A = this chain, B = another copy of it.
């Protein structure tokens, strides 16, 4: 019958690599079944209970107690194992060849003044303070530690924004700066793609896929998985996007995130739109409603994001071909969209896509019942009316054959001073009106002229569906509609993107601007040097990459005894 014995040490601090090694060493001793060496948090005690490694002392331990517990064949063996703990701890040897080990960040910074980066992987409850010291020293922070509070994250990132420094994390697993990996990082080919990720393994997965596809990256900037949540508000993400936007080596930017807060995702997308580079976006669990919108490409997943980024980098798209929006032509108060369709599917797709730009779109045949127009004959706000719906066609020709109802409605909508954009479809082919543009064109010209007389600008946009072999000839129809002043495309999506962009601009509310000091571009490109506080293995990995690094022989204040530490802290204040 196995017995379990435990020892609780209050106020002891070792990094988790040391604890792991100790646990393994204990478990390998003769007669020992299993061993646990962990901090006494509720979660850890549950895990120990789950694997049958608890005693009453273990259950009574506190989150800053070190718990050492052993299950062995008999009590003597168990106690003997525990008796060897100090000896086992002393065996620990370092792989970092460093003559003098500074005890503080400040002295490390004096040893390596050109170090721009501080890696922090101490236990979460101490991490924010170390990060604060690093920022005060003017260093960028790679904050690997998790279990850091949201409040600390907010205050650290506010300080960093002021100083033009990046705080990657907390809980930032990965960063790759100019080919040097911080934390968990892969060896990725250098190339034209820059990545920002609120997603540790997301950054690894996307960049390794980019590498596997034969391309490479400039920088991969992690932000910590919480960066795109409230109340952090993408603080680091936006600074990272900004620096990659300015980085001449970065041709394509890729954004990855764990499931973001919807509003923060919008904020990031709004900012991404202003970048004059292709931006590929994959926010996990946020399904894309379109493939491309201006300089933005929306990926369905991480594979797709990597593939899109490589494809774009290999064949850079022409972003200058984006249509100019006539936003300044509209009068004050013009802000609404009215779609007058003959084709039901075109109307549905328009509703679906337009919602991304303007929010709620009313319709007589809505995708969601809540958006049903009260009266199909009277538009409200943004509205889409399918005039081919059953309600309009009893004993009446379909609007693809007879333009009369649409023309009446077009002239009516154009009188509404709040209307900015009206959309029509012109669907040709057998069965349809023999020359719809000959009737719709003049109506469009008239509607635009009357709006102009009334001191407004009316944009009429048209999707033209047909081919060059149709009896009416597509090009002929397009020419007639353009001659009447309409903006025309044969892609429904393109028309909605154009109209949606205008409406978004007209309806955009002044957002609180996020003010930050831009990160100095040279930070990313100059030789990387770092200070490491916490897991020694991260320093070892930097050494392997030939990155100059100073490892700090860090101990928590008062050796990890938090009660004592807080007394010391208070004494400092009063002294």
Contacts and interface: CB of A to CB of B under 8 A. Distances in A.
Interface of A: 16-17, 19-20, 23-24, 38-39, 41, 43-44, 46-47, 50-51, 63, 66, 123-124, 146-147, 171, 173-174, 181, 183-189, 197, 199-205, 208-209, 211-212, 225, 256, 258-259, 284-285, 287-291, 298, 300-304, 342-346, 348-349, 351-353, 367, 376-377, 388, 390-398, 400-402, 404-405, 408, 425, 427-432, 463, 465-467, 469-471, 474, 490-494, 537-538, 541, 544-545
Contacts of A66: 395
Contacts of A429: 181, 184-187, 204
B289 A395 contact: no
B303 A492 contact: yes
B201 A303 contact: no
Contacts of A469: 186-189, 211
B47 A431 contact: no
Contacts of A343: 173, 200-202, 204-205
A393 B16 CA distance: 9
B430 A545 contact: yes
A554 to B, nearest CB: 15
Contact of A544 (B146, B285, B287, B471): B471
Contact of A394 (B43, B344, B470): B43
A291 B301 CA distance: 8
7 tightest A-B contacts by CB?
Answer: A201-B343, A39-B395, A202-B345, A287-B287, A187-B469, A186-B429, A199-B345
B493 A301 contact: yes
12 contacts: A39-B396, A174-B431, A183-B430, A184-B400, A186-B469, A189-B469, A205-B343, A205-B346, A208-B474, A256-B345, A259-B367, A288-B300
A201 B17 contact: no
A524 to B, nearest CB: 18
A190 to B, nearest CB: 11
Contacts of A46: 377
Given A186-B466, A345-B258, A465-B205, A304 B291 contact: yes
Contact of A300 (B289, B390, B397, B544): B289
A189 B46 CA distance: 68
A17 B343 CA distance: 19
B200 A344 contact: yes
Given A345-B200, A467-B208, A43 B258 contact: no
A146 B19 contact: no
Contacts of A258: 344-345, 348
Most buried by B among A51, A209, A397: A397
Contacts of A225: 344-345
Contacts of A490: 208-209, 212
Contact of A390 (B146, B390, B408): B146
A41 B401 contact: no
Given A147-B390, A394-B39, A541 B430 contact: yes
A432 B144 CA distance: 13
A491 to B, nearest CB: 5
Contacts of A199: 344-345, 348
Given A46-B377, A186-B467, A187-B470, A303 B396 contact: no
Given A397-B17, A431-B537, A490-B209, A300 B304 contact: no
Given A285-B352, A427-B204, A393 B147 contact: yes
A181 B428 CA distance: 12
B538 A123 contact: no
A149 B296 CA distance: 44
A547 to B, nearest CB: 10
Contact of A184 (B208, B405, B431, B471): B431
Nearest to A37: B395
Given A187-B429, A397-B16, A491 B345 contact: no
A184 B432 contact: yes
A246 B395 CA distance: 40
Contacts of A16: 393, 395-397
Given A186-B466, A291-B301, A259 B348 contact: yes
Nearest to A64: B395
Nearest to A18: B397
Contacts of A537: 401, 431
A169 to B, nearest CB: 12
Nearest to A353: B301
Nearest to A181: B430
